[in-house]
């Protein structure tokens, strides 16, 4: 049976064993949520990289040989992904202030 989720203020009114169990359940739930978010971020990075690679291949193949266009699109996609992640971090840090 799963422990009910309550705020920390409500937990202070409970007996000690129940309070500890509820806090442990909350910690486990928070850890699982963080793992899920990390998985979502990982797969979204792969998706964005793939989209950039396809767009880059389409653009580069118009004026380069096939092999070079693939190499250039992979490199440019990686650079764009890194730049996009840094830009998002800067925007989020400004909103936190």
**What's the pLDDT tens digit per position in 7-43?**
555 656 656 667 677 788 888 888 999 889 888 988 8
Alpha-carbon distance of 88 to 43, in angstroms, equals: 17
Helix or strand or coil: residue 28? helix
Alpha-carbon distance of 33 to 28, in angstroms, equals: 9
The pLDDT of residue 94 is 81
User: Residue ranges of the domains in the chain?
Assistant: 8-96
The pLDDT of residue 58 is 85
């Amino acid at each position: 049976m799963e422990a009910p989720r309550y705020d920390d203020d409500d937990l202070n009114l409970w007996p000690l064993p129940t309070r500890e169990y509820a806090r442990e359940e909350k910690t486990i739930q928070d850890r699982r949520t963080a793992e899920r978010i990390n998985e979502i971020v990982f797969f979204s990075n792969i998706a964005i990289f793939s989209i950039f690679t396809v767009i880059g291949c389409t653009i580069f193949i118009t004026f380069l040989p096939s092999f070079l266009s693939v190499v250039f699109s992979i490199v440019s996609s990686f650079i764009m992904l890194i730049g996009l992640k840094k830009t998002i971090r800067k925007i989020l840090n400004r909103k936190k202030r």
